Amino acid sequence: MKERELLAIIEAEENNAIGTETGALAESRRTAMEYYYSQPYGNEVEGRSQVVTSEVLDAVEGIMPNLMSIFTASDEVVRFEPQGMEDEAAALQATDYINYIFARTNNGFLVLYCLFKDALLQKNGFCKVYWEEYEESAKERYQGLSDDEFAMLMQDEGLELIEHSESDGQDGKLHDAVFRKTSKTGRVCLEPVPPEEVLVSRETPNELCKARFVEHRSKKTISQIREMGFDVPDDLSDSEDADYNLERAARLEYDDSGQRVKDIESDPANREVWLCEAYIRVDFDGDGITELRKVTKVGKRVLLNEEIDTLPLVSGTPIVMPHKFYGLSIADLVMPIQLTKSTITRSLLDNFYFANNGRYEILDGMVNLEDMMTSRPGGVVRSKVLGAVKRLDTPLLGMPAFKLLEYFDTVKENRTGVTRYNQGTDADSLNKTAHGMEIIHSASMQRIELIARIMAETCVKELFWKILELVSKYQNKPQVVKLRNQWVKVDPREWKNKFNMTVSVGLGTGSQQMTLQGAMGVMQIQGMLMKAGMMGQVLQPTNLYQAARLYAKAVFP
């Protein structure tokens, strides 16, 4: 297959993909973003209430704390469990090291936060997992080197001589030198991706890795593209269609963060273009079997075309729709309620406005109109005839309207699992029994825990598999890191069977108090077993150590 044929296939896939600039998905996500920001609906009437309630924001932000605590309350977001005795040590080290890469090398908390929030608000959240090679350069200065010492440094391939001077010494020549030390290394990078930057083929099932076509489009400057190793001219042209993406505009125009300064654009190296990384399954080599290829392009110019092993993108959705890649978001469930409550609230406020500043019936020519048109406390209205002014009272909507608002609050709670009780906002909560409150809290948490389990089994598990895969393939030398308060040399190449493991996700579901209580219960049972003479039979010293360690960790997290 020729390159122009491959480019034609990619363009056809782009035009047919889900997530294009003007599709139903883009419109839905744009609307969700505007509802989150409580933007006007466009049906406002001048002189009437224009308030917009914030049910979408309240629902999303109400779920996020519980969702984040499920994954981040523990030091181990995931745990690699061995399938056999030979994998025990590798699984333990992989658990510590991969969690270290996630939390220390990358800002794992922020990655999960962006991923989950995008999913709750815009149907699917995306994260890119890739290996990045980079160089570290530093200068080293040496003074008074002997001939042998200088010769040894000159033979070091990682050192480049920058400055050199000689002087006479008692035992011969002395050398003063400045070297540049360059070392090449790499690391795993986790990058949350805005949903509007991802295109997915329409036939994609629930799992993104089975998609025939996926494309990630991102804004890059000419300088950034050159730093990636591509030789491109200053006048590199691209397609500007993505600039008019509806949801991108809704995301950026709220606080003007999408506006560019013209003086910056005038610098050719800072000019921005759309860089597209297309991942497509196509028979490029002509062997009759499709392979996964990564094609990097700007406009119609292909910068890179290579075969890859796996897709570097992971995705998750809070509400899975069977046999469809894009699910439903929490915003989809709450947007109709927000519109309805905004309408009711506007009517209530208008009712109060009209009640405070009502209409009047007056006798024509018998009342001073200037006095009538000026509303002020304690004001005087001059009239020629007693009774020339009569107030037209506006009846207050009262309790039925507030009951209607209460009904829609209940509907929102049933749909999202976010209740006023577990948010501490209900004044009547103190009057409810402890058992009743526990039932309400448990029922609401079931919905959130289901969302957490769905996200865990899809995007979070896949994200950590990719981290493990990348370090196993590309980390070409051991790395010394501090794990479990000890400095450990980690070399993923020594893991005999790197993927003979299962992944357990969501280990932080219990609070520290629950962990503390559980550890105390285990220690009490251990004490009973020791009194019964079971030490060395049922109970082992390592069991005592693990229970005490868990207890200490809960007390001093």
**Placement of tokens 């160089």 in the chain:** 135
Does 257 have pLDDT greater than 70? no
CA atoms of 501 and 88, how far apart (whole Å): 10
Q: Output the pLDDT for position 61.
A: 92
Collapsed DSSP state (helix, strand, coil) of residue 201: coil
Give pLDDT tens digits for 286-320. 888 999 999 999 888 889 999 998 999 999 999 99
Q: Output the pLDDT for position 437.
A: 44
Q: Output the pLDDT for position 431.
A: 45
Its pTM surpasses 0.85: no
DSSP state at residue 460: I
**Placement of tokens 């779920």 in the chain:** 63
128 within 8 A of 313, measured Cβ to Cβ: yes
Give pLDDT tens digits for 473-486. 888 888 888 777 77
CA atoms of 100 and 89, how far apart (whole Å): 17
Least confident of 50-64, 84-98, 454-468: 84-98
Q: Output the pLDDT for position 199.
A: 92
Give pLDDT tens digits for 113-154. 999 999 999 999 999 999 988 777 788 888 888 888 888 888
194 within 8 A of 249, measured Cβ to Cβ: no
Percent of the chain's residues with pLDDT above 90: 25
Q: Output the pLDDT for position 142.
A: 87
Mean pLDDT of 454-465: 89
1 or 2, greater pLDDT: 2
Mean pLDDT of 367-375: 82
The model's confidence at residue 389, banded by pLDDT at 50, 70 and 90, is: confident
108 within 8 A of 300, measured Cβ to Cβ: no
Smallest CA-to-CA distance from 169 within 148, 183, 192, 139 is with 148
Cβ neighbours of residue 107 under 8 Å, at least 6 residues apart? none
Q: Output the pLDDT for position 435.
A: 46
51 or 475, greater pLDDT: 51
Q: Output the pLDDT for position 444.
A: 64
Mean pLDDT of 161-176: 83
Least confident of 188-192, 234-238, 383-387, 419-423: 419-423
Give pLDDT tens digits for 405-420. 888 888 888 888 777 6
Mean pLDDT of 31-35: 92
Percent of the chain's residues with pLDDT above 70: 88
The model's confidence at residue 240, banded by pLDDT at 50, 70 and 90, is: low
The model's confidence at residue 438, banded by pLDDT at 50, 70 and 90, is: low
Q: Output the pLDDT for position 425.
A: 43
Q: Output the pLDDT for position 541.
A: 82
CA atoms of 477 and 471, how far apart (whole Å): 10
Q: Output the pLDDT for position 69.
A: 85
276 within 8 A of 230, measured Cβ to Cβ: no
283 within 8 A of 291, measured Cβ to Cβ: yes
400 or 189, greater pLDDT: 189
Mean pLDDT of 259-277: 74
Mean pLDDT of 269-279: 89
Q: Output the pLDDT for position 503.
A: 59
Average pLDDT, the chain: 82
Q: Output the pLDDT for position 499.
A: 52
What's the residue count for the chain?
A: 557
CA atoms of 120 and 61, how far apart (whole Å): 9
The model's confidence at residue 508, banded by pLDDT at 50, 70 and 90, is: very low
Q: Output the pLDDT for position 84.
A: 72
Does 75 have pLDDT greater than 80? no
CA atoms of 224 and 8, how far apart (whole Å): 26
Cβ neighbours of residue 325 under 8 Å, at least 6 residues apart? 18, 124, 200, 204, 205, 206, 207, 208, 211, 315
- What is the DSSP annotation of 183-219? EEEEEEEEEEE-GGGEEE-TT--S-GGG-SEEEEEEE
